[in-house]
Amino acid sequence: MPETVLLTRPKHDLTTSYLHYWTGKLIKEAEKKGIEVIDLEKEKATRENLESYIDKKKPEILVLNGHGSKDRIGGHKNRPVLEKGGNESKSANTAIYARTCKSGADLAEACVGSGAKAYIGYRKDFIVPYNTQKSTKPQRDSLAEPVMEASNEAARNLIKGNKPKKAYRKSQEAYQEKINKVLTTYQLGKDQLLAALLHNKENQVLEE
């Protein structure tokens, strides 16, 4: 089991507010296990803080939330916290779960090439269906829940101390379980929930 986990969870728009809430569940779980948690939330989700805490605390696991592109992950107000050709070497000796769009493409390879043990991310947009009537309270949005829970499984398993390959597999299994459930039960909006689960599952990647 890791001793220290670092998480970024900006909260400056609708998407990041959902990521912020659902990552909070992982924080509580990690703290219950006695793991030291570095929570870079909201305006603390900056490159400077990420680098400083990595240098000081040497976390084994990085869980990075936010908007992203092929070669970077954004933090507060989308300013880059980790980027290819910038500070990817800071990820050396860590296992990373990046819940962002597209960074599973180039940034994953750059981080692993710079010494990261593994990188689980997404090579295309990370898509979440949501109930527009519940958007101010993500915890009550049962449409987003399956996507967020399946994606949480990758981070959850890294935090448990499982190897990245197992964490990736567990997340893929969680996605499939949610897909199977949607196919066999009634839920309003299930078509787009199914589409999002399938899209995210197929675009989740592991780089080692």
Which residue ranges make up the site for another protein (CB under 8 A)? 13-15, 18, 67-69, 74, 78, 100-102, 125-133, 135, 143, 183, 188-189, 191-192, 194-196, 198-199, 202
Q: Is the dihedral of CA 203, 155, 55, 49 positive or negative?
A: positive
* Shortest distance, position 207 Cβ to another protein, whole Å: 19
Is the Cβ of residue 54 or residue 182 nearer to another protein in the bound state?
182
N-to-C CA span, the chain: 19
Is 133 or 185 the residue whose CB approaches another protein more closely? 133
Q: How far does CA 175 lie from the centroid of its chain?
A: 14
Smaller CB distance to another protein: residue 100 or 171?
100
> How far does Cα 118 stand from its chain's mean position?
14
Classify residue 58 by its DSSP letter. -
Residue 76 CB, shortest distance to another protein, in Å, is: 14
CB of 31 to another protein, least distance (A): 27
Neighbours of 205 (CB within 10 A): 16
Within 10 A of 145 (CB to CB), how many other CB atoms are there? Answer: 17
Between CA 190 and CA 181 the distance in angstroms is 10
Closer to another protein at the Cβ: 42 or 123? 123
Number of other CB atoms surrounding residue 56 within 10 Å: 10
Shortest distance (Å) from residue 154 CB to another protein: 17
Nearer to another protein, 31 or 191 (CB): 191
CB of 22 to another protein, least distance (A): 12
